[in-house]
Structure 1
Amino acid sequence: MRKMGIGLQLFTLRNETAADFAGTLRKVAELGYEGVEFAGYGGLSAEELKALLEETGLKAIGAHVSLDNLRNNLQGEIDYLKTIGAGYIACPWVSPEERTLEDWKKNIAFWKETAAEVTKQGLVFGYHNHEFEFQESIDGQFVFDAIYAADPANIKVEMDVCWVKFAGQDPIAYINKYAGNLPLLHLKDFRKDEEGGMITLELGQGEVDLPAVVAAASEAGVQWLIVEQDNCQNPPLESVANSLNWVKQNYLALV
């Protein structure tokens, strides 16, 4: 298999970063993660965060940037990410009140415009999915597919395989479908609770065929495997350490 970068989505450690942002990043580096994807910057200036990344040796993969910030502060987000050396800016969420068919069409048009500007300024724009993008269709295709079909050259896929499977779809088939346009992949595991909801788990403990996902990702040209766990049963730093151990044993040992 091809070597991909191993990163962590810092949303997993949101309570830890809220209490001690710099200290948490230092612990992430000590665990052995190569990079981080931000979900907020801990109140640090871009120059302060750049210095912290240089100190820890962590690579800034990119950031999840809210739809509101994309609409109202796109240039500020681009400038910040360029300063810290990040390559990706991704929209991570659409609120329930903006999921009508007309809203989807408007947002896709907005993302197309945003992606063109982000590309023009030297970064890569992506969209991160949940399950709801598979619950509505536009012109005969899932919203998930319609988003990327709007501008494949500029809107890249940040696939969360956990949500793809939760939505009843085949993560491997979707990885293969977007080969070459899928630079970032969220590596995550889950099981369903008694009501059919999602319980996120440490890697290797749930329903996702993670070895097959990693192999397909390698073939598909994925640049970063990004570990994420929305909610942890153990202390979150312990959980991300356990998940990284799974990656070491089941992927890095094979590269």
Structure 2
Amino acid sequence: MRKMGIGVQLYTLRNETAADFAGTLRKVAELGYEGVEFAGYGDLSADEMKALLEETGLKAIGAHVSLDAMRNDLQGQIDYLKTIGAGYMICPWVSEEARNLEDWKNNIAFWKETAEEVTKQGLVFGYHNHDFEFHESIDGQFVFDAIYAAAPQSIKVEMDVCWVKFAGQDPIAYINKYAGNLPLLHLKDFARDENGGMITLELGQGEVNLGEVVKAASDAGVEWLIVEQDNCQNPPLASIANSLNWVKQNYLALV
């Protein structure tokens, strides 16, 4: 297998970064993570964040940027990412009221336009899925597929395999389908509660066949495996440490 970068999505540590952003990033680096994907920057300026990343040795993979921020402050978001040395701007979420056919089509057109501008300025635009992109179709294909079909050269896939599996789809088949256009992959695991809802778990504890996911990701040209756990049963820093241990034992030991 190829060597892929190992990062963490900082949404997992949202309470920790809210209390002490710099201290949390230092702890992430001490655990052995190579990079971070941002979900907000606290109150740090781009220059302050750049200095913190240089201090810790962490790579800025990219950031989850809301639709509102893209619409209202696209250039500011681009400038921040470029200052901290990040490569990716990712749209992470669509509100429930915007998950209708007309809004999906409008948003896809907006993402195509945004991706062109982001690409022009030297960054990469991507979309991060949940399960709801598999609940609706556009012209006979899932919304998930329609998003990337609209601009296959400029909208890249950040696949969350946990949500793909939860939606009843095959993560391996989807990784293979988007090989070459899938630079970022969220490495997550889950179980189902008594009502069928998702309980996010540390890696290796749930339903996702993560060993096969990692092999497929390597073959598909993924650049970064990004650990994420939406809600943790243990203190989040302990959870990401345990998940990194899974990565070391089940992937890095084999590279």
TM-score (norm 1): 1.00
Question: Which residue matches 2:153?
Answer: 153
Question: Which residue matches 1:202?
Answer: 202
1:77 and 2:53 aligned: no
Question: Which residue matches 1:39?
Answer: 39
Cα-to-partner distance string for 1:143-181 (whole Å, 9 max, x where unaligned): 000000000100000000000000000000000000000
Question: Which residue matches 2:109?
Answer: 109
Aligned partners of 2:189, 2:99: CA distance in 1, in Å?
Answer: 25
Within a 5 Å distance, the mapping from 1:160-175 to structure 2 comes to 160-175=160-175
> How much identity, in percent, do the aligned residues show?
87
Aligned partners of 1:246, 1:73: CA distance in 2, in Å?
Answer: 38
1:139 and 2:121 aligned: no
- The one-letter amino acid paired with 2:89 is I
Cα-to-partner distance string for 1:194-240 (whole Å, 9 max, x where unaligned): 00000000000000000000000000000000000000000000000
TM-score (norm 2): 1.00
Gaps of 5+ in 1: none
What is the count of residue pairs matched by the alignment? Answer: 255
Within a 5 Å distance, the mapping from 1:1-255 to structure 2 comes to 1-255=1-255
Aligned partners of 1:240, 1:109: CA distance in 2, in Å?
Answer: 36
Aligned partners of 1:153, 1:32: CA distance in 2, in Å?
Answer: 33
RMSD: 0.2
- The one-letter amino acid paired with 1:2 is R
- The one-letter amino acid paired with 2:126 is G
DSSP 3-state at the match of 1:73:
helix
| 1:42, distance to aligned residue in structure 2 (A) | 1.1
| 1:115, distance to aligned residue in structure 2 (A) | 0.2
DSSP 3-state at the match of 2:6:
strand
- The one-letter amino acid paired with 2:24 is T
- The one-letter amino acid paired with 2:167 is A
Aligned partners of 2:131, 2:181: CA distance in 1, in Å?
Answer: 20
Runs of 4+, deviation exceeding 4 Å:
none
Aligned partners of 1:53, 1:105: CA distance in 2, in Å?
Answer: 37
DSSP 3-state at the match of 1:195:
coil
- The one-letter amino acid paired with 1:52 is L
